Structures are given as structure tokens and as C-alpha cells.
Amino acid sequence: MPTTRLRHQVTETDDIAAAVEAGLHEWPDLSRSDVIRELILKGAEALNLTAVERVLAVELALKELAALNVHYPKGYLEDIRKDWDRYA
């Protein structure tokens, strides 16, 4: 389609393909090209957040995680760490 706008070519490297696949799960009705457009716009929105907005977003995410009420059994970390010295 003719346009006076700049056009860009993006090669689907492994990391770009993974991002597009994640986008297709979020927006299953969109084409791969439209998913790339959405990913670019969402990325720009994230970059435009102020430092305060980023802190608030992290705090909200932490509250949501805490609300999951996941508890690990006593000694969980020690059990995981017991074999670490083998790999040092």
C-alpha cells in the first residue's frame, strides 16, 4: 500500500519470535504484523512511565503476589541450598 510514512523491516530472531508468540497468546485475533505493532506501542507506554509510576506498578505486583498466599515449608531454602557447593 502506498504511503509517505517511513517503513521498517524487522527480522524475526528467536527473541523477537518469542515476543510475537507471547503477543499472539494475549491477542489471538491479531496477525503477526499487528502483534508486532501492539508490542511496540505497549513497550513505548512502559518507557513513558514516570519513576513514581514504575514504583507503584512494582508495589501493585508485589501486593498481588502476596495475595496469592503461597507459603513454603520450614527448611525449604536450606533444602534447596544443600547441594549448591557441589556446583561451585
- Domain boundaries defined on the chain: 14-87
**Of residues 18 and 3, which shows the higher confidence score?**
18
CA atoms within 13 A on the CB side of 70: 7
Q: Contact, 39 vs 19, CB < 8 A? A: yes
Residues 6+ apart with CB under 8 A from 10: 16, 36
Grid coordinates representing 50 are 514516570
Say how far apart CA 75 and CA 37 lie, in whole Å: 47
How does DSSP classify residue 83?
T
Instruction: Give residue 41's pLDDT.
Output: 96
pLDDT digits (tens, 9 = 90+) for 20-79: 999 999 999 999 999 999 999 999 988 888 989 989 989 999 999 989 988 889 999 998
pTM of the predicted structure, to 2 decimals:
0.57
